[in-house]
Amino acid sequence: MTEAMALAEGEDDSLDAWRKGHGSYFKRNGGFSPDMQIVWERFILIEDLGREDDALGHSSSLTDPAA
């Protein structure tokens, strides 16, 4: 895990804080080892189907610059 990856997750303000918080989580939920493998994925929101168009007609698609 790099600092950029930890910060991109949005839960902590540093890699050290990420390690502390996630280490505690893993210990509570089955175990932790400093050399354990972690799967890290990044997703990009393409469209928010729950958002209605606003009064100005902006669409919910992030590919639409007017949104």
In angstroms, rounded to a whole number, what is the distance separating the alpha carbons of residues 23 and 64? Answer: 39
Q: Is the pTM of this model over 0.85?
A: no
Condensed to tens digits (0 to 9), the pLDDT of residues 26-62 reads 899 988 888 888 888 988 888 888 877 654 555 555 5
pLDDT for residue 51: 74
In the chain, the N- to C-terminal Cα span, in Å, equals 33
Res 67 pLDDT > 70: no
In angstroms, rounded to a whole number, what is the distance separating the alpha carbons of residues 53 and 46? Answer: 15
